[in-house]
Amino acid sequence: MNGLTKNHSWSFKNKNSMKNLLIILIALFSTSLYGQDIISTKQGDIKIHPIVHGTLAIEYNELTIYVDPYGGAEGFEGLNDADLILITDIHGDHLNKETLQALNTSKAHFIVPEAVAQQMEGIDHAEIEILNNDKSTSFKGIDITALAMYNLPQSEDSRHPKGRGNGYLLNMADQVIYISGDTEDIPEMRALQNIDIAFVCMNIPYTMTIDQAASAVLEFKPSIIYPFHFRGQGGLADVEKFKTMVNEENENIEVRLRNWYPKN
Q: What pLDDT score does 264 carry?
A: 66
Determine the distance from the C-alpha atom of residue 233 to the mean position of all C-alpha atoms in its chain, rounded to a whole number: 20
Q: What pLDDT score does 70 carry?
A: 97
- Whether 261 maps to a domain, the answer reads no
Question: Region 45-54: what's the mean pLDDT?
Answer: 97
> Are residue 205 and residue 78 in the same domain, yes or no?
yes
Least confident of 18-27, 56-65, 246-255: 18-27
Question: Region 52-62: what's the mean pLDDT?
Answer: 97
86 pLDDT tier (thresholds 50, 70, 90): very high
φ, ψ dihedrals at 16, nearest 5°: -65, -40
> Are residue 133 and residue 244 in the same domain, yes or no?
yes
- pLDDT tens, residue by residue, 152-182: 877 667 788 999 999 999 999 999 999 999 9
> Are residue 25 and residue 125 in the same domain, yes or no?
no
Q: What pLDDT score does 18 carry?
A: 47
9 pLDDT tier (thresholds 50, 70, 90): very low
Q: What pLDDT score does 36 carry?
A: 77
- Whether 238 maps to a domain, the answer reads yes
> Are residue 48 and residue 18 in the same domain, yes or no?
no
φ, ψ dihedrals at 46, nearest 5°: -105, 120
- Whether 263 maps to a domain, the answer reads no
- Whether 196 maps to a domain, the answer reads yes
- Whether 220 maps to a domain, the answer reads yes
Classify strands 224-228 and 254-255 as parallel, antiparallel or unpaired: parallel
pTM of the prediction? 0.86
Q: Which domain holds residue 11?
A: 1-32
- Whether 260 maps to a domain, the answer reads no
Q: What pLDDT score does 256 carry?
A: 98
The number of domains in the chain is 2
Q: What pLDDT score does 246 carry?
A: 98
What CA–CA distance (Å, rounded) separates 217 from 258? 17
> Are residue 189 and residue 127 in the same domain, yes or no?
yes
- Whether 154 maps to a domain, the answer reads yes
